Structure 1
Amino acid sequence: MSVLSKVNVYRRNIMRNLTKNIGKPKMQDDFILVDKAEIKKVLICRPNGRLGNLLLITPLVQEVAETFPNCKIDLFVKGTLAPIIFENYSVVNKTIHLPKKPFKSLFEYLKVWISIKNESYDMVINVDQNSSSGRLAVQFSNAKYKFFGDAIDQQAEKKKDFEHIAKYPVYNFRHYLTKLRLFTNSNKIIAPLDLKLSASEVANGRKILNELVKNDKRTIFIFTYATGAKCLSEDWWEKFYEQITKEYKDYNIVEVLPVENVSQIGFKAPTFYSKDIREIGSVIANGDVFIGADSGIMHLSSSVQTPTIGLFSGANIKKYEPYDNCSIAIDINTCTEREYTKTINSILNNGKLNSYSKAI
């Protein structure tokens, strides 16, 4: 680990310790929200720039929009991906970007905090309780209703899927609303990840795929890359690719390449490469199943409602597994070749049911 990386780790730890108790003395029990129409401007704080983490807040954005139909939402984030991901979310008014390197962009960094302080938000919501910047943004704002993202232990006992990183912010938000004496349906199904592709984007994805495979076969997408320990070995992928090419001779098997333009199977399959997130999503939306390790692209596949098989080798399955539309997470340490085939067959036989497939 470089000296700069070590400093960054220490900085994060210090900030978390300094901010962990912000907002905890009370949960605004003295406030009651009588009229939903009172909430017209909301700030959701997720100061993170990773593709997966931004896609994983789309269920919360949908929940807030449904709860307060007259509101507009601003997003407090990092990086440049949020405007692309939320391009077709009419409820999203703007994104506020925290610089990735605050010490090198001190003026821009201060401008962000001043802008949050000067905005007249009715409600500010922090997604991750461990985010020091998120907690500070809630505290710093002038909003009447402030939710710091603290987990509700009782919810964990009631909901089997509470651990999921896209779901527990919604459960916690619903619980916060009950503290404001606002009725919420705690048993309502949580919305899926959603990139909200347009019909024209999906049609363009179909065109790109057709030009690549030049046939009318159904398509299985694979994504062989992931970061760090999540990246499965070349040997594992070589064996898996050999297995599925033998089993699914009547299907196209297309590898979606990462921005690094690398392949764990030595580019043996037809490949699709793009740096345009929405274009990648539009191509995957035309597939019948996506198979890949835990990554931003795996969550992208979920967000375009393509049945997704997430390959996991660690203990984070419940937290990051793809869900909805026949999607499933698999522990590669316990799954056999026969079980892989059975799972893929089950998805392919059930077919793909979503708005994107109906639009093309």
Structure 2
Amino acid sequence: MSVLNKINVHRRSIMRSLTKNVGKANMQDDFILVDKNEIKKVLICRPNGRLGNLLLITPLVQEVSEMFPNCKIDLFVKGTLAPIIFEKYEVVDKIIHLPKKPFKNLLAYSKVWISLKKAHYDLAINVDQNSSSGRLAVQFSNAKYKFFGDSGEESTEQKSGFEHIAKYPVYNFRNYLSKLRLPTNSNKIIPPLDLKLSASEIAKGRKILNELANNDKKTICIFTYATGTKCLSEDWWEKFYSMLTSEYKEYNIIEILPVENVSQIGFKAPTFYSKDIREIGSVITNADLFVGADSGIMHLSSAVHTPTIGLFSVSNLKKYEPYDNCSVGIDVNLYTKKKYIKTINTILNNGRLNGLSRAI
């Protein structure tokens, strides 16, 4: 770990320690939300600019818009990806984004925080209870109802998939609403990640995929890159790619390339490269299966509803694994060639795994 990364980790630890109790004194136990139509303007805070983390809040945005059908949502984020990801979300009104490098853009950084204070919100929501900036943003807002992302009750943590980073904010939000005496269906299935591709975008992706393959075979997309220690070695991918081409001759194997334009299999497969997130999603959505390590592109595959196999070697599988649409996360440290084939076959045959990957 570089010196800069170490400083960043230390800074986050200090900030979390300083902000962990923000909002605890304002639990609003005496508030009762009688009419949900009262909520017309909502602020959702996730000051993070990574592709995966922004896609992972789409279930919460869907939950809020369904619970409060007359509301409009502003998103408090970081970076410039959010307008692209939420382009088709009519419920999303404004994207308020912090500069990626606040200390180099102090004036712009200050203006964003001031705008939060000036705006009127009926409800402010912090997505991740461990986010210092998220907690501060909710506290700084002038919303009547403020949810800081805390669980609030141990029983919530026993629900299926509570550990998942896309699910626990929804469970925690439902618990908060129950404290406001607002009826919620706590057992309702958590919405999937959703990029909301249009029909024209899907058609464009199909055209691109057809031109790449130039045949009528079905397609398996692979993504061989990931950041840091999440990136599997060239040797691992060479063996895996060899297995795919040997076992699935009736499928096209297409590699989706990262923005870095690198390949762990030496560009042996036909490749697709784009810096347009929605275009990448439009190609993946036309595939029958996506296989890739824990990354933003893995979450993008989930968000376009393609059956996804997430390859985990160091990341917390239960927290980040793809879900819904026959998707599954697997621990590569525990898998053999036979297990990979069995898992892939199960998905390609449209059968849900029902925990197969952990039971094999």
Shorter chain as normaliser: what TM range?
over 0.9
- 8 Å CA contact retained: 1:311, 1:331: yes
Corresponding letter in the other structure for 1:227: T
1:100 Cα deviation from its structure 2 partner? 1.6
Output the CA distance in 2 between the equivalents of 1:222 and 1:212: 14
Instruction: Report what 2:62 is aligned to.
Output: 62
Q: Is the 8 A contact 2:156 2:175 kept in 1?
A: no
**Does the CA contact (< 8 Å) of 1:151 and 1:172 recur in 2?**
yes
Question: Alignment length, in residue pairs?
Answer: 352
Paired residues of 1:155 and 1:171 also in contact (CA < 8 A): no
CA–CA separation in structure 2 for the residues paired with 1:330 and 1:185:
30
- Counterpart residue number, 2:159: 159
Task: Using the TM superposition, name which of 170-179 and 11-20 deviates more.
Answer: 11-20
1:356 match: none
Q: Equivalent residue for 2:16?
A: 16
Distance in 1, matches of 2:16 and 2:101, equals: 17
1:188 paired residue number = 188
Kept in 1, the 8 Å contact 2:311–2:330? The answer is yes
In 2: Cα distance, 1:33 partner to 1:8 partner = 40
What are the equivalent positions in structure 2 for 1:279-294 lying under 5 Å apart?
A: 279-294=279-294
Shift of 1:151: 2.3
Instruction: Tell me whether 1:94 sits opposite 2:94 in the alignment.
Output: yes
1:51 maps to: 51
- The answer for the alignment partner of 1:306 in structure 2 is 306
1:297 shift after superposition: 0.2
Aligned to 1:113: 113
Residues 157 and 163 of structure 2 are in contact (CA less than 8 Å); yes or no, is this contact kept in structure 1? no
SS of residue matched to 1:333: helix
Q: How has the CA–CA distance of structure 1 residues 13 and 158 changed in structure 2, closer, same or farther, with 3 Å as cutoff?
A: closer
CA distance in structure 2 between the partners assigned to 1:229 and 1:99 by the alignment:
27
Distance 1:206 1:62 in 2: 27
Aligned to 1:272: 272
| Distance 1:2-1:314 versus aligned 2 partners, 3 A rule | closer
Aligned partner of 1:323 in structure 2 is 323
* Matching residue of 1:144: 144
C-alpha change, 1:242 and 1:106, in structure 2 (3 Å) is same
Instruction: Give 1:198 deviation, angstroms.
Output: 0.0
Do the aligned partners of 2:205 and 2:286 also contact (CA within 8 Å) in 1?
yes
* 1:199-257 per-position Cα deviation (integer Å, ceiling 9, x unaligned): 00000000111111111110000000001111111111000000110001111000000
How far apart are the structure 2 equivalents of 1:155 and 1:83? Answer: 36
Q: CA–CA distance in 1 between the matches of 2:158 and 2:12?
A: 32
Q: 1:169 & 1:289 partners in 2: Cα distance?
A: 28
Aligned to 2:355: none
Asked if the contact 1:155/1:162 (under 8 Å) is kept, the reply is no
Q: Which residue of 2 aligns with 1:234?
A: 234
Matches within 5 A, 1:255-266: 255-266=255-266
In 1, the alpha carbon distance for the partners of 2:305 and 2:195 equals 9
In the TM superposition, what is the alpha-carbon distance from 1:14 to its structure 2 partner? 2.4
Runs of 4 or more above 3 Å deviation: 1-10
Deviation track 1:3-28 (CA, whole Å, cap 9, x = no partner) reads 54444333322222221110012421
Name 1:208's counterpart in structure 2.
208
Q: Is the 8 A contact 1:52 1:299 kept in 2?
A: yes
Q: Is the 8 A contact 1:27 1:179 kept in 2?
A: no
User: Which residue is equivalent to 1:357?
Assistant: none
Q: CA deviation at 1:154?
A: 1.7
Partner Cα separation in structure 2 for residue 190 and residue 99 of structure 1: 31
Whole-Å separation in 2 of the counterparts to 1:268 and 1:225 = 14
Superposition pairs for residues 163-174 of structure 1, below 5 Å? 163-174=163-174
Q: Which runs of 5 or more residues in structure 2 are unaligned?
A: 353-360
Q: Deviation at 1:315?
A: 5.3
- Tell me the CA shift for residue 94 of structure 1: 1.0
| Distance in 2 between residues matched to 1:338 and 1:140, nearest whole Å | 54
For the structure 1 residues 157 and 149, does the alpha-carbon distance in structure 2 shift closer, same or farther, using more than 3 Å as the test?
A: closer
Q: Between the two proteins, what is the percent identity of the paired residues?
A: 80
Query: 2 CA distance for matches of 1:2 and 1:40?
Result: 45
SS in 1 for 2:12: helix
Post-superposition Cα deviations, 1:236-289, rounded to whole Å, max 9, x if no partner, equal: 100000011000111100000000000000000000000000000000000000
Report deviation, 1:345: 1.0
More displaced 10-residue stretch of structure 1: 2-11 or 121-130: 2-11
| SS, match of residue 77 in structure 1 | strand
The alignment status of 1:177 with 2:177, answered yes or no, reads yes
SS of the residue 1:47 aligns to: coil
The answer to whether the 8 A contact 2:151-2:175 is kept is no
* Structure 1 alignment gaps of length 5 or more: 353-360
Aligned amino acid, residue 249 of structure 1: K
- Partners of 2:156 and 2:171 within 8 A in 1: no
Instruction: Out of 241-250 and 11-20, give the one that drifted further.
Output: 11-20
